[in-house]
Amino acid sequence: MATSLSSQRMIGLFEQLIELHERPASLRLDDRMELTSHVVVEWAAERGIGLRFIEPEKPNRKACIELFNRAYHTEVLNA
């Protein structure tokens, strides 16, 4: 089971979402390598989609994810 997606795979997923919904003005993303690659940056620029990255030192910017991870770890992995 894969735990990471390549930049190309991420772009494919973004394209599918754009087909289902309208093109967003911007995307708020984590700063993982597959999301900050030149491939993703160029893809977004070609489509006029801004990229807004969550600052690594600001975990409160992704509080919902952190809360889920903590709950999952406590409830499932420690079981």
Q: Could you report the per-residue pLDDT of 13-49, keeping only the tens digit for each? A: 899 999 999 999 998 887 776 677 888 889 999 999 9
Res 52 pLDDT > 60 = yes
Question: Which residue has 């597959």 as its token pair?
Answer: 34
CATH (one of 3.30.420.10, 3.50.50.60, 3.30.413.10, 3.40.50.300) for 7-77: 3.30.420.10
Inter-axis angle of helices 7-20 and 38-46, nearest 10: 30
Q: How confident is the model at residue 1 (pLDDT cuts 50, 70, 90)?
A: very low
Q: How confident is the model at residue 59 (pLDDT cuts 50, 70, 90)?
A: low
Query: So what's the pLDDT on residue 32?
Result: 72
In sequence order, which residues have a C-beta less than 8 Å from that of residue 9 and are 6 or more positions away?
Answer: 34
Compute the distance between CA of residue 20 and CA of residue 33 in angstroms, rounded to an integer. 26
User: Which sequence spans correspond to the domains of the chain?
Assistant: 7-77
